[in-house]
């Protein structure tokens, strides 16, 4: 790293609570009960299971992969954290309920006082955003990490949309670039059914970031300006099924990682590719989704590249179970889990003294 880069890094780094030390006893799975959006049934007006994140955790607990003490509790991203990517102007616009109603596509939000909108809608999204940033550091530390939420890939620094109010993927990558020595190249593998125009706009002219995006070419957002940022673009047609889909996932993941070797992979693992999804328009089976995640993790892990997974879109009733099944499959394949961490993900991060998961006030928290 040059002196110039070093001084720029220090100049741009504010104090953050999102890069706290996490005990080794915790799995790098990040979650907080505040992820879930519940407010007088309002959440039911959106074609979303707005409680899917909690259900994923419930299923993982049932299978005894995790418990309250061995996962990482997400923290809410602060305004200063958000300003690493977002403009002050954009964050101010979120103080208007009408703007939030339009971004989240929940029209009645328009009629709520903004204090409620902040607490009931934006705080969950800010907590998920903090979770993605935390998981970015954990991925580098441990070789892998999963944020059970996040993946707001339609939001860029100055524009939200498609339920995405904060650009968590851009934020996680910029935090790593600014704060973690040795992390200067990232690859985004975006396999949500929609084009990831948010991070694409943010990294349009940034050669440090390689973007692979595979999506239904006929649906939202169809952002041709943002498409210029995609280095490996795979456009799918209505009703694409497992056999074609999985061949393409493998071919292009391997191809992307052979083309450029990044220091970290951010995997946007949207499940709206599932057959029957009202928005995605693809016909992938639950088993296909499980296999897809396995292919991506294997491609990164085999090369020793840290991988951060976020769950992004996909809100059918069965979605949470499929995400949990996929995480359990990654474990049974030896791609994640306590054993998978040994000898993996060598980190150039500074070492910090570990804190126990003690009472309130401890710098480390676990669910
Ligand atoms: Zn989507």
Residue 146's SS3 state is strand
Point out which residues pair with 234 in neighbouring strands. 214
If one compares 49 and 71, the residue with the highest pLDDT of the two is: 71
Confidence band for 272, pLDDT divided at 50, 70 and 90: very high
* Residue 126 and residue 166 in contact, taking contact as beta carbons nearer than 8 Å: yes
Buried b (16+ CB within 10 A) or exposed e, 249-277: bbebbeebbeeeebbbbbbbbbbbbbbeb
Q: How many angstroms is it from 163 CA to the middle of ligand 1?
A: 10
Out of 41-45, 119-123, 291-295, the most confident range is 291-295
In this prediction, residues 39-61 reach a mean pLDDT of 80
Residue 47 is predicted with a pLDDT of 60
State what percent of residues in the chain have pLDDT above 90.
Answer: 78
Q: How many angstroms is it from 315 CA to the middle of ligand 1?
A: 9
* Residue 34 and residue 124 in contact, taking contact as beta carbons nearer than 8 Å: yes
Confidence band for 13, pLDDT divided at 50, 70 and 90: confident
Closest CA to 35 of 113, 148, 118, 134: 148
In SS3 terms, 55-116 reads as HHHHHHHHCCCCCCCCCEECCCCCHHHHCCCCCHHHHHHCCCHHHHHHHHCCHHHHHCCHHH
Rounded distance between C-alpha atoms, residue 290 and residue 286, angstroms: 6
For the record, the structure tokens of 59 come out as: 């299923």
In this prediction, residues 294-302 reach a mean pLDDT of 98
Residue 190 is predicted with a pLDDT of 99
Four-point Cα dihedral 30, 313, 160, 199, nearest 10: 70
Residue 126 is predicted with a pLDDT of 98
Confidence band for 165, pLDDT divided at 50, 70 and 90: very high
Confidence band for 184, pLDDT divided at 50, 70 and 90: very high
H helices, E strands: number in the chain: 14, 8
Residue 109 is predicted with a pLDDT of 86
Q: Is the pTM of this model over 0.75?
A: yes
Closest CA to 168 of 183, 154, 184: 154
Q: How many angstroms is it from 339 CA to the middle of ligand 1?
A: 32
Rounded distance between C-alpha atoms, residue 317 and residue 247, angstroms: 27
Residue 339 is predicted with a pLDDT of 63
State what percent of residues in the chain have pLDDT above 70.
Answer: 86
Rounded distance between C-alpha atoms, residue 146 and residue 54, angstroms: 14
Rounded distance between C-alpha atoms, residue 249 and residue 193, angstroms: 13
Q: How many angstroms is it from 288 CA to the middle of ligand 1?
A: 17
Rounded distance between C-alpha atoms, residue 337 and residue 64, angstroms: 12
**pLDDT of 140 above 50:** yes
Contacts 24+ apart (CB under 8 A), 41-47: 42/106, 42/108, 42/109, 42/120, 43/106, 45/106, 45/107, 45/108, 46/104, 46/105, 46/106, 46/163, 47/278, 47/279, 47/315
Which option is the CATH number for 9-341: 1.10.300.10, 1.20.140.10, 3.40.800.20, 3.40.50.12160? 3.40.800.20
Rounded distance between C-alpha atoms, residue 27 and residue 70, angstroms: 6
**pLDDT of 159 above 70:** yes
Residue 232 is predicted with a pLDDT of 98
Q: How many angstroms is it from 199 CA to the middle of ligand 1?
A: 13
Concerning whether 46 is annotated as a catalytic residue, the answer is no
Residue 277 is predicted with a pLDDT of 94
Q: How many angstroms is it from 26 CA to the middle of ligand 1?
A: 30
Residue 40 is predicted with a pLDDT of 62
Confidence band for 1, pLDDT divided at 50, 70 and 90: very low
Where do we find the tokens 């996909």? 314
Q: How many angstroms is it from 272 CA to the middle of ligand 1?
A: 6
Residue 106 is predicted with a pLDDT of 80
Residue 362 is predicted with a pLDDT of 32
Confidence band for 346, pLDDT divided at 50, 70 and 90: very low
**pLDDT of 345 above 70:** no
From 32, 86, 153, 154, the catalytic residue: 154
Q: How many angstroms is it from 25 CA to the middle of ligand 1?
A: 33
Q: How many other C-beta atoms lie within 10 A of the C-beta of residue 287?
A: 14
Confidence band for 108, pLDDT divided at 50, 70 and 90: confident
Q: How many angstroms is it from 349 CA to the middle of ligand 1?
A: 33
Residue 353 is predicted with a pLDDT of 34
Confidence band for 134, pLDDT divided at 50, 70 and 90: very high
Q: What is the residue extent of each domain of the chain?
A: 9-341
């Amino acid at each position: 790293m040059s002196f110039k880069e070093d001084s720029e890094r220090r100049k741009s780094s504010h104090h953050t609570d999102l890069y706290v030390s996490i005990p080794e006893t915790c799995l790098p799975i990040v979650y907080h009960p505040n992820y879930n959006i519940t407010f007088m049934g309002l959440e039911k007006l959106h074609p979303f299971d707005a409680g899917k994140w909690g259900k994923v955790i419930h299923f993982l607990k049932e299978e005894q992969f995790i418990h309250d003490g061995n996962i990482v509790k997400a923290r809410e991203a602060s305004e200063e954290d958000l300003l690493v990517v977002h403009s002050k102007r954009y964050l101010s616009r979120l103080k208007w309920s009408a703007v939030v109603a339009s971004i989240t596509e929940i029209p009645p939000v328009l009629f709520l006082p903004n204090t409620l909108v902040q607490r009931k809608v934006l705080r969950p999204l800010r907590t998920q955003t903090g979770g993605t940033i935390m998981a970015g550091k954990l991925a580098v530390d441990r070789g892998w990490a999963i944020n059970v939420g996040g993946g707001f890939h339609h939001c860029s620094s100055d524009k939200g949309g498609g339920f995405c109010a904060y650009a968590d993927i851009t934020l996680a990558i910029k935090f790593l670039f600014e704060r973690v020595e040795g992390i200067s190249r990232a690859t985004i593998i975006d396999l949500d059914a929609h084009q990831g125009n948010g991070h694409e706009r943010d990294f349009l002219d940034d050669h440090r970031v390689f973007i692979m995006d595979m999506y239904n070419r006929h649906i939202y957002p169809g952002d041709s300006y943002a498409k210029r940022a995609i280095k490996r673009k795979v456009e799918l047609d209505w009703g694409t099924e497992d056999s074609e889909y999985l061949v393409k996932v493998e071919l292009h993941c391997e191809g992307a990682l052979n083309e450029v070797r990044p220091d970290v992979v951010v995997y946007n693992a949207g499940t709206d590719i599932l057959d029957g999804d009202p928005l995605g328009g693809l016909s992938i089976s639950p088993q296909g989704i499980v296999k897809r995640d396995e292919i991506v993790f294997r491609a990164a892990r085999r090369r020793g590249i840290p991988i951060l997974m976020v769950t992004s879109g996909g809100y059918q009733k069965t979605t949470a179970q499929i995400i949990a099944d996929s995480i359990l499959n990654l474990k049974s394949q030896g791609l994640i889990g306590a054993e998978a961490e040994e000898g993996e993900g060598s980190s150039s991060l500074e070492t910090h003294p570990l804190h126990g998961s003690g009472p309130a006030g401890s710098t480390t928290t676990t669910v």
